[in-house]
Structure 1
Amino acid sequence: MSDVDPLSLDLATLSWLAGSAANELLLSTIQKGGHPRLRISHGYVFQMLISGPKTIGTLAEQLGVTQQAASKVVGELTRYGYLTSVICEDDRRLRQVGLSKLGNEAVETARSARTELEGRLLSSLDSHTMASARRALACLLDAAGGLEAARRRRVRYPKLE
C-alpha cells in the first residue's frame, strides 16, 4: 500500500480529515486544561447555550435530537457542573438550562486552545494563505448547505451513520 499525498485529496475529504485531527487535538488540550470529562459532542450543547439559557425542548430542536437525548446530555453536563438549571421567567412551569461558571470557563479554555492552534498555523502559513484557506472552507461549507447553521450557531449533532 502506498502513502497518500494529502494535496491529492478532494477538499471535502481533506477538510474532514483536518477537522477530525484538529478536534482530537483541541479536545485533548481542553481536557488537559482542567475539563477531563468533556467530549466533542458536549461542544454542540455549549454552542447552543452561549447566547443564553434555553429550555430542554428548544435545545433538543436546535440540536436535531429528541427531548430524551437532550435531557440525557443536559443531566450529564449538570452533574459535571457545566450547566445550571433556572426557572423560566416567562413561564414559571418551565426550567431553562444555561452555562455555569465552570461551563463558561470551559468555553474560554476551548477558545484559547483554538487561538493557540491558529497561532501554530500562522507560524507556517502567511496571513494571505490563511485567509484563502478560510474562504475555501467557507465556500465548501456553503456548497454543502451548512453555512447558515454555522452563522446562527445552529450546527446540529452530526449524522455519521
Structure 2
Amino acid sequence: MDIDLATLAYLAGSSANDAILRRLHEIGHDGVRVSHGFVVQHLIEGEPTVSELGDLLGVTQQAASKQLLELERLGYVARVPDRVDSRVRRARLTDRGRRLVEDSRRIRRELDVHGGDAAKRALIRLLDATGGTEKVLKRQVAPSD
C-alpha cells in the first residue's frame, strides 16, 4: 500500500474506532457514538457544569448540552446539584457510564494486542513530531469535523 503516514494513521484510527464501537454495541452499549467518548473523558475524574464542559471540549455550551442530553437519555450521565451551590448542576457518570468506560478500556486493550508495540511507538513518535502529545495528555483533543 502506497499511502502517506498521516493518511494511514487516520484510516487505521478510524477503522479501530469503528471496531471498538461495533463491539460496544454488541455488548449492550447501544446508541453510543465516538463523539461521546470525548465527553466521557472529562467525566471520569470530574463533574463539570455544561459551561465548563463546553470550555474543556472547545465547543459552545449548546453543543456540550446536546452531548450531555444524549448521554443522559442513554443512562450514562446524570446531572446532579453542586455540593456548594444547589442551583448549579454538574454532570456525573452513572454506574452504567462507569461500565462503559471499563468495557471500552478492555476492548481497547484487546485491540492493542493486534496492533503491536512497534506500531504504537511509531504513532507516538508521529504525535510527538506533530505537537499533539500535550493536547492528548491534557485531554484537549476534540472530535474532528
Report the TM-score range of the alignment, normalised by the length of the smaller protein: over 0.9
TM-score by length of 1: 0.84
| Aligned: 1:10 with 2:36 | no
Map of 2:127 onto structure 1: 141
Cα drift, residue 88 of structure 1? 1.2
Larger radius of gyration: 1
Distance 1:57 1:97 in 2: 11
Matched with 2:13 is 19
Report how many residues are paired.
Answer: 145
Q: Where does residue 113 of structure 2 map in the other structure?
A: 119
Match of 2:59 in 1: 65
Structural RMSD (CA): 1.4
Structure 2 gaps of 5+ residues are none
CA distance in 2, matches of 1:149, 1:90: 31
1:105 aligns to what? 99
What CA distance in whole angstroms lies between the structure 2 residues aligned with 1:147 and 1:42? 21
Measured in 1, the distance between the counterparts of 2:143 and 2:112 equals 24
Query: Is 89-98 or 100-109 further displaced after alignment?
Result: 89-98
Q: Secondary structure at the match of 1:154?
A: coil
In 2: Cα distance, 1:141 partner to 1:101 partner: 33
1:79 aligns with 73
Assess, with a 3 A threshold, how the Cα gap between structure 1 residues 104 and 157 changes in structure 2: closer, same or farther: same
Q: 2:138 matched to which residue of 1? A: 152
Give the alignment partner of residue 27 of structure 2, picking from 27, 33, 53. Answer: 33
| Runs of 4+ residues deviating >4 angstroms | none
TM-score, normalization by structure 2: 0.92
1:64 CA displacement: 1.0
Corresponding letter in the other structure for 1:19: G
Runs of at least 5 residues in structure 1 that lack an aligned partner in the other structure: 123-129
The one-letter amino acid of 2:125's match is C
Distance in 2 separating the partners of 1:49 and 1:139: 28
